[in-house]
Amino acid sequence: MGKLALAAKITHVPSMYLSELPGEHHGCRQAAIDGHKEIGRRCRELGVDTIVVFDTHWLVNSGYHVNCAPHFEGVYTSNELPHFIRNMPYAFPGNPGLGRLIAETATEDGVRTRHHDATSLPPEYGTLVPMRYMNQDQHFRVLSVSALCTVHDLADSARLGRSVRRAIEERYEGSVAVFASGSLSHRFAQNGVAEQYLHRIWDEFLYQVDMRVVELWCQGDWKAFTEMLPMYADKCHGEGFMHDTAMLLGALGWDAYDQPVEIITPYFASSGTGQINAIFPVV
């Protein structure tokens, strides 16, 4: 049947788009952009036809949701940071069939999930920014999964991730990549001093914990990481409460996963937050 070909934790910082524009910040996120392009290149090498993004900018207050419209196209300005991402065009095909299979499989597995194919709902920038650098030619079909989950348990998000993989491997004919689109620590710089923190982490505590997390990832110590994940997400202001990461690890085996990550873009600070691009080997 289908194949989960590639899995990754990726950044989507708005300063990547800012980095393209003329001015004092031109080129400031080139390493992150290059990391996205490399991940996209590997997806093409592996024959990936669809990318599933666990998007920490899609806020939901009930259940889990999959945005799987047949086609996405528009011009996007971030309501959060309209001075960073403004009037950004996007276009790429969706995959309604896979979205339906994921929702049905997850619901059968006890995690109520809805798919939305007949919808005017646009993707959020946790999906749009990566696709800008990986998919400008619309090579990949794309669907987005809600991962800013306000009243959800991380354990359920891990179960959803398992269901995503089951839907791909047991019910889909094709090759798929899954991305957890979100940061490590995510404490934005305080209003009034944000410009001073464009390339800095907000606090030394957050930096030290992030460094330990990256070390665990490089060691493949997922038992330790999954045990600390709820507290890490809480104390270090995890983006989307780190439901994207729980979904990704659920798809890979949770605490039984034992592979070290391959870092594509080394850890960097952005507007107070901690960021990385890392591939998680699929076994």
- Per-residue model confidence (pLDDT) at position 24: 87
Residues contacting 255, CB < 8 A, separation 6+: 222, 223, 226, 227
C-alpha dihedral, 200 to 202 to 203 to 205, nearest 10°: -90
Strand 262-270 relative to strand 273-280, pairing: antiparallel
Q: Rounded to whole angstroms, what are the CA distances from 44 to 89, 121, 177, 228?
A: 23, 27, 10, 34
The CATH number of 3-280, from 1.10.3720.10, 2.60.200.20, 3.40.830.10, 3.40.1440.60, is 3.40.830.10
Q: Are 261 and 245 in contact (CB under 8 A)?
A: no
Closest CA to 14 of 153, 126, 167, 160: 126
Residue boundaries of the structural domains of the chain? 3-280
One-character DSSP codes across 115-159 = EESS--PPPPHHHHHHHHHH-TT--SEEEEEEEEETT--HHHHHH
**pTM flag (> 0.75):** yes
For residue 259, what are its two tokens? 């592979």
pLDDT, tens digit (0-9, with 9 covering 90-100), for 98-131:
999 999 999 999 999 999 999 999 999 999 999 9
Ramachandran region, residue 6 (left: φ > 0; alpha: ψ -120 to 50; beta: rest): beta
The ranges of the chain with pLDDT < 70 are none
What are the pLDDT digits (tens) for 71-98? 999 999 999 989 889 999 999 999 999 9
